[in-house]
Structure 1
């Protein structure tokens, strides 16, 4: 009886990874995040909140808080990776198919294509129905800025910017790490992203405790954001949008965004649709100017929300396809 060589084993693992990621992507498109099921990010968030309270109670000086911030980031990310890996391995030990099913489900929870599209479409429908007040409320659930006084254009811009930015955070970055390391690495990324969304602020409270989380999020999204830029250019061309303008807008405007990564998807979407994003935003009553992304070839309208969602879906599908192809090519080369 011939045993399985190390090369054959590694090739099999990579092939299973492709199957799992593709299955998880379609599972997310099919069911999204059921409300009756506790989401892993909720558990990660509770861990962050508990550790945050502990560190604020124990650490008083800026130096101590910065050290605590580093410990917070390392602890949460390591816990997310380790617990996910232990769960998958334990289930695999019971039955390999059970382990694979659990990994696919865990991978699907790191993706947010369906929930992101659902939130955007709800606001889009409210604007089409003329229900601006309810649209302001709903957009306030997905953005950090003040929304109570936004006009229709402001609600549209907030929604387009959020969907565009989350093409990276909510879809392509998890896919990137899923292809590299399966559910454990994808969940570790979600821990990074959750840390940044909870403590990665440059305000008085989190300036020191949140610095490591913010830097880690920038680092984790660096490569996926640039992959997203290429995918959005391809998606723009496939959907008949202005891919040339999208490329020009990325080159011209992306670097002006306060985030080293978010400017790429936002500027790509702005260029593809011929709209201008950015401008004045209000946060807790304080007005600030967000760098402009793109040139206003056409005024922002509610339809641009639907078009941004189309770009998100096309880019994510291309991400799954390109990731699967690249990993397949790698397995072929590795098996030679």
Structure 2
């Protein structure tokens, strides 16, 4: 339990060094290698679907096994080395620092009037086209990203850390990476990515709803509306195309009294997403700062609740 607290604190303060080979990058390389190999033997739709199932099972199983045995043998060798390694991987599993850093970088660019720089920075953290976005659209995209990744990058890894330690948390990161790389509904991945997308839906089902509740709980601390956040999440969380992303996004929209969602362009194609929330005020760069603050306090509350539950057990 202490390792989780220290790993959380390390991530909050230092985050992931850009120069260091992040474990998720290694998982991504493994997925790319397996995809090339499996696609060579899977041509028909049914075969692609089976290959996609194999990819998901193999990737998640190997990730869990590698971390489990790495930590097991480290503990047998040296207790201090085990805790250092455990804390390191806990830090790597969390993304509080990197999420807030990237969001606030765009916030500062917008505050300084550098919209071209903000568009460029945004292109690294979202999949939508950013070249023609105005200040309000950029702010909306960043707030949506902060809300969604509050679940995927913070609360969900903490959830699995408390349940099953580093091996389970990194297995979750493998699921998340699979979905981000192959879990698309386009022609290339309709069959091959089906298993990865469904597995990600299952893995995020509880964390996404917990994140929405946490956002609603802490909204009042950040001069937002907890009542409006909770009502918006309950009423509109299921409107999103994703079975999970809508809950933290709807809660954030309600907390900040803004609207999220709506039309966005991906690869030149207009996608009309459902609008979440009711705009009592137009979205501005300042909402990015407020969203990051809500995310950080929600993550801290998640940590405290997890520690108290483990302590009670």
Does the alignment reach a TM-score above 0.5?
A: yes
Q: Deviations over 1:112-131 (max 9, x none)?
A: 00000000000000000100
Q: Does 1:134 align with 2:113?
A: no
Question: 1:37 Cα deviation (Å)?
Answer: 1.4
- Contact between 2:75 and 2:81, CA under 8 Å: does it hold in 1? yes
The answer for the alignment partner of 1:144 in structure 2 is 127
The runs of 4+ residues in structure 1 deviating greater than 2 Å are: 237-240
Matches within 5 A, 1:1-336: 18-330=1-313
Distance 1:127 1:238 in 2: 25
Tell me by how many angstroms 1:157 deviates. 0.7
Deviation, structure 1 residue 91: 1.1
Q: How many angstroms apart in 1 are the aligned matches of 2:117 and 2:223?
A: 32
CA distance in 1, matches of 2:271, 2:86: 43
2:232–2:250 Cα contact (<8 Å) kept: yes
Higher mean C-alpha deviation, range 32-41 or range 314-323: 32-41
**What RMSD, in angstroms, separates the aligned Cα atoms of the two structures?**
0.7
The SS at the match of 1:304 is helix
Displacement of 1:252 in angstroms is 1.6
What is the CA deviation profile of residues 293-334 of structure 1, one whole-angstrom value per residue up to 9, with x for unaligned ones?
Answer: 10111100000000000010010000000000011111xxxx
Asked if structure 1 preserves the Cα contact closer than 8 Å seen for 2:213 and 2:251, the reply is no
Residue 12 of structure 1 aligns with which residue?
none
Unaligned 5+ segments in structure 2 are: none
Unaligned runs of 5+ in 1: 1-17, 331-336
Larger radius of gyration: 1
Which residue of structure 2 aligns with residue 9 of structure 1? none
Task: Give the distance between the partners of 1:118 and 1:238, measured in 2 at CA.
Answer: 21
How far apart, CA to CA, are the structure 1 residues paired with 2:299 and 2:41?
43
- What is the CA–CA distance in structure 2 between the aligned matches of 1:68 and 1:56, rounded to whole Å? 8
Q: In the TM superposition, what is the alpha-carbon distance from 1:36 to its structure 2 partner?
A: 2.1
Secondary structure of 1:58's match?
A: coil
